[in-house]
Every structure is written in structure tokens, then in C-alpha cells.
Amino acid sequence: MNRPKVYIAKKIPSFVEEYIGKHCDYEMYDNEGRISEETLYEKIKDTEGLLQSGIAIDQKLLDRAPKLKVVSNVSVGYNNFDTDAMKQRNVIGTNTPEVLNDTVADLIFALMLSCARKVSYLDRCVKEGRWNMMDDKSFFGKDVHHATLGIVGMGRIGQDVARRAICGFDMNVLYFNRTRKTEAEEKLGVRYADMETVLSSSDFVLVMTPLSSDTYHLIDEPQFRLMKSDAIFINASRGATVNEKALIKALQEGWILGAGLDVYEQEPVDRENPLLKLDNAVLLPHIGSATEKTRNDMAMLAAENMVKALTGQVPPNIVPELRK
């Protein structure tokens, strides 16, 4: 029986590589940095499976991989998939939801606390010898406990954040979602509201929506102007859900108090991006799931998705747009 041939376009843990090797013939990219387009296209011309992260799976790539049957993302997001093109070629696309929920929720709270209590700014002040915490109001922060958190996008991670907010910090939680989450309302005590109410009533605003044509620049200048002047904005979803120019203007002109970001419209962030010069912005390099255990779990789940798709089984995590 012929074994499926796959290509692994990123480094993965050895135990995940061993698992794939039990079921498939494989090659793996083992260099630092991202794989070049030229190398990738050469490697996938005869492969049935591709395990990767963030590579655009579009018509151009599919034309160079005529035998491709499954693309497995090592991520929960899949905006790198051209699902229409994949449907036409009967290529399955999978992702890695749920295994990273708690880790990302932890990071979101780290951003909220860091912004509210000016952790990054004060760390810099101490290291630069500026020690005047008792008298300098620029050192003062904002309380998180008993504040109102507004969540735009009440998916799994949004619900995990809400649980932390309510159980750990006695926060009030409002949310907006395309469909109401009545079970979350009953279980967690979150309250549904329209988008305008969530934005205008919240001390912290968190965006956790997937990126689609409907959510591109969902948060723009009108939305920032609805927020409180002492509100803190957090984005850990996808950079393009927010108009970054409008966010920069909001921070520079004081429409909102601060922002914590793990995602950006352009990644890596351009060195000339004004965000890099703002003391009221806490910036992270898209590391929401970046703990060793979670990244290992994601890689294993991605491998299982790919192997199952190639061995006559139904992978558990086919993205919704590609489910039959």
C-alpha cells in the first residue's frame, strides 16, 4: 500500500515528526525563518498533504500542487485559505481550535493588566532611573477589578476571557456577537448588547472576531469615537479587523486611554509605524498561543488532522467553509 507523501513547511517537535513518519512519507523544512516561495513550490509539486502556518493557500499554490488533498494549518485562524479555490480543487483545509483557548485568554488578560497598570511604561521608567511613583500622576493606572469589559466576538476564547474577568476580577461583561450566546449568558453571567452599547459602555474593549469580508475594519474611526476617553482597547484576533490608522489617531489624540495589541495590519510591524513611539500602546509580536506546551499541542493536532484526511478518516477540524 502506497504511503501518502506530505511536506512539512515549518519546524515541528520531534514527537510530532515521528507520528507523521509512522503514517506518511515526508520531507520537512528545517531552516531558520520562513520558507521561500520557490522552495515551497518545488517541494509540494508531488505531495498530497501540506502542514504549515500562515502560507497563502491560493490558486497560484494549488496550480503547483496538483496532487494536494489536504492543507493543515498550525493555527486556529485560516484567513490564509482561499476557500473558493480549495473547493474547486477538492482540497480539505483544517485548523487547530480549542487547544490554544486558555493560553490566548491568559495573554489577553496580561495585555489588559499591562495597559491598565502601565506595566511596560513603568518598567522602562525604573530601568531609566525615573523613580517617583508616589507623586507623579503619569504613573497612575486604571483599576481592572469591578470594571466593565466589552467583548466583540463571543467565541470560545471570548468566553474563556469572560470567565476570568467575572470569576477573577468581579468585572461586568457585555458582549456583541452575530448570534446571541444564550448558553454563555446563563452559564457565565455575560450580557448581550448591541455594538454601540458595548463600545460606549465598556472600560475595556476586546476584539476577538475572525477576519472576513464582514469584519475587515470592523473597528474604525466611528467605533473609536464611541468609546470612553479612559477606555482601553485590546485586539488579539486579526490585525485587519481594526483600521490601524484610526487606532493610532485615537491613541495620539486621546479619544481612548490606551491599547494592547498582539496583531497588526502588517506583520512584522514596520519600523516606521507610529505605534512604536506611543507610551500608551503595549505591543506584542503575535504570540497569543506561544507557550511550549500549547504550540506542541497545536502541532500535534495539525498532524492528526492531516494524517486522518490522508488515511480515509474524517479529520475533526475541517474549517466550516470547506465542510461537505
Q: What mean pLDDT do residues 93-110 have?
A: 97
Cα 274 to its chain centre, rounded Å, is 22
Helix (H, G, I), strand (E, B) or coil at 122: helix
Q: What mean pLDDT do residues 296-307 have?
A: 98
User: Residue 78: which residues within 8 A CB-CB, separation 6 or more?
Assistant: 93, 95, 319
- Phi, psi dihedral angles at 96 (to 5 degrees): -130, 70
pLDDT, position 242: 98
* Average pLDDT of the chain to the nearest whole number: 95
Reference 275, options 284, 74, 173; nearest CA is 284
Cell triple for 273: 509605524
In this model, does residue 77 exceed pLDDT 90?
no
Q: Is 255 in contact with 227 (CB distance < 8 Å)?
A: yes
Q: Could you give all domains of the chain from N- to C-terminal order, each with its CATH number? A: 5-99+292-322 (3.40.50.720), 101-283 (3.40.50.720)
Q: How far apart are CA 181 and CA 172, in angstroms?
A: 16
Question: Is the N-terminal amide bond of 274 cis, ω within 30° of 0?
Answer: no
Q: Is the dihedral of CA 270, 276, 281, 286 positive or negative?
A: positive
**Strands 258-261 vs 148-152: parallel, antiparallel or unpaired:** unpaired
Q: Work out the pLDDT band at 31, boundaries 50, 70, 90.
A: confident
pLDDT, position 1: 63
Residues serving a catalytic function are: 238, 267, 286
Q: How far apart are CA 306 and CA 321, in angstroms?
A: 17
Q: How far apart are CA 197 and CA 205, in angstroms?
A: 11
Q: How far apart are CA 309 and CA 108, in angstroms?
A: 33
Q: How far apart are CA 53 and CA 229, in angstroms?
A: 38
For the chain, what's the residue count? 324
Angle at 247 between CA 243 and CA 251, to 5 degrees: 175
Convert the pLDDT of each residue in 5-28 to its tens digit.
Answer: 999 999 999 999 999 999 999 999
Burial grade of 185 (CB within 10 A; 0-12, 13-18, 19 or more): middle
Q: What mean pLDDT do residues 43-48 have?
A: 97
pTM of the model: 0.89
Percent of the residues in the chain that have a pLDDT greater than 90, as a whole number: 90
In this model, does residue 134 exceed pLDDT 70?
no
Percent of the residues in the chain that have a pLDDT greater than 70, as a whole number: 99
Helices 156-169 and 101-116, interaxial angle, to 10°?
A: 50
Q: Work out the pLDDT band at 133, boundaries 50, 70, 90.
A: low
Q: Work out the pLDDT band at 130, boundaries 50, 70, 90.
A: confident
User: Residue 1: which residues within 8 A CB-CB, separation 6 or more?
Assistant: none
Convert the pLDDT of each residue in 140-186 to its tens digit.
Answer: 999 999 999 999 999 999 999 999 999 999 999 999 999 999 999 99
Q: What share of the chain is helix, strand, coil (3-state, %, to 5)?
A: 40, 15, 45
pLDDT, position 33: 86
Cα 212 to its chain centre, rounded Å, is 13
Q: Is 158 in contact with 206 (CB distance < 8 Å)?
A: yes
Convert the pLDDT of each residue in 214-272 to its tens digit.
Answer: 999 999 999 999 999 999 999 999 999 999 999 999 999 999 999 999 999 999 999 99
Long-range contacts for 2-5 (Cβ within 8 Å, ≥24 apart)?
Answer: 4/48, 4/49, 4/69, 4/310, 4/311, 5/46, 5/47, 5/48, 5/49, 5/67
Span between the terminal Cα atoms of the chain, in Å: 27
Q: What mean pLDDT do residues 267-294 have?
A: 96
